[in-house]
Amino acid sequence: MKKIFLIATPWILIICLWYLVAWYGLVSATLMPRPDQVGAKFIELMRDGRLGHDILVSTQRVFIGVVLGIVVAIPVGFLIGWYKSLRIFLDPLINFFRALPPIALIPLVIIYFGIDEPAKIIILFYASFFAGVIVMYEGVAQISPIYIKVAKTLGASDWEVFRKVIIPLTTPHILTAFRVALGVAWATLVASELVAAQHGLGALIQSAGSYFQMDVIYVGIISIGIMALFMDLLLRKIGAHLVRWQERVSA
């Protein structure tokens, strides 16, 4: 009960603040709708199906992009983390590409791949891969060799060391890579939908912007936040179960 209260408090405060700004007229009512107006718009858009469809389209894109990116980032990150010589050789390269904001690549991708689904998936793949690969290889590089030594003295074959020691030790890093990639992918997705898309939350915001539909813009922004929060929560729940053995600083 106390926990629910703690979690709810900042949200309630934000809504109160929002109302205060509206009532005192700090921002003109045409520029900023009230929370209840945004809520009403949210329900209206949900009822006519447009919002649900946009959320679905965006979530699907993020999901496909992140899964593809992480599926490639796991083995690549693992190899770079494991083999030090490979790291020396590839580290500058990866950092170079990682430093390029995926958003900056959008015009290039549009020219090469057009504005259809593949273009968006490619951008998201790029964003997820580089975010994930760094987390993976830094995590794997920190794995203590002692566990492998112990397993070998107990008679483990190389395959058994991999299956019974390295996989469990890598799991937490895979989960972190997933979470980081998801965050980056959401940011990138909305940017790419803002530039070129007919559907999706970014497109919803963009078209609402050109028609000056402030309430719709707010609905779009809030939906993005809710979806990101929801996905992260889901991943954390799965993670907490998979790595329940991990030592944490007690809460």
Partner 1 sequence: MSKPRIQFDSVSVSFDTDSGPLKVVDDFTLGINEGDFISVVGPSGCGKTTLMNLIAGFVAPTKGVVTLDGQKIEGPGRERGVIFQEYGVFPWLTVEQNILFGLQLKKSEINKSRYQEILDRYLKLMGLAEFAKSYPKVLSGGMRQRLAIARAYAVNPEFLLMDEPFGALDAQTRSSMQNLLLGTLLTEKKTVMLITHSVEEAVYLASKVVIVTARPTRIKEIIEIPFGFPRQESLKDDSEFNKLKARIRDSVMQEYDHQQKLLVQTV
Binding site residues, partner 1, CB under 8 A = 144, 146-147, 149-157, 160, 164-165, 168-169, 171, 243-247
Q: What minimum distance in Å lies between the beta carbon of 210 and partner 1?
A: 53
Of the candidates 178, 160, 168, 164, the residue with the CA atom closest to the CA atom of residue 143: 168
- By beta-carbon proximity to partner 1, the closer residue of 97 and 147 is 147
- By beta-carbon proximity to partner 1, the closer residue of 99 and 251 is 251
CA 9/CA 21 separation, integer angstroms: 18
> How many C-beta atoms surround the C-beta of residue 11 within 10 A?
9
- By beta-carbon proximity to partner 1, the closer residue of 74 and 203 is 74
Q: What minimum distance in Å lies between the beta carbon of 155 and partner 1?
A: 4
- By beta-carbon proximity to partner 1, the closer residue of 13 and 167 is 167
CA 220/CA 39 separation, integer angstroms: 11
**Sign of the C-alpha dihedral, residues 107, 112, 115, 119?**
negative
Q: What minimum distance in Å lies between the beta carbon of 243 and partner 1?
A: 8
Instruction: Count how many residues are written for the chain.
Output: 251
Q: Which tokens sit at 24?
A: 């005192």
Which residues are CB-contacts of 84 (< 8 A; sequence separation ≥ 6)?
141
- By beta-carbon proximity to partner 1, the closer residue of 2 and 244 is 244
Of the candidates 182, 172, 170, 174, the residue with the CA atom closest to the CA atom of residue 232: 182
Q: What minimum distance in Å lies between the beta carbon of 177 and partner 1?
A: 18
Rg (C-alpha) for the chain, rounded Å, is 22
Q: What minimum distance in Å lies between the beta carbon of 149 and partner 1?
A: 6
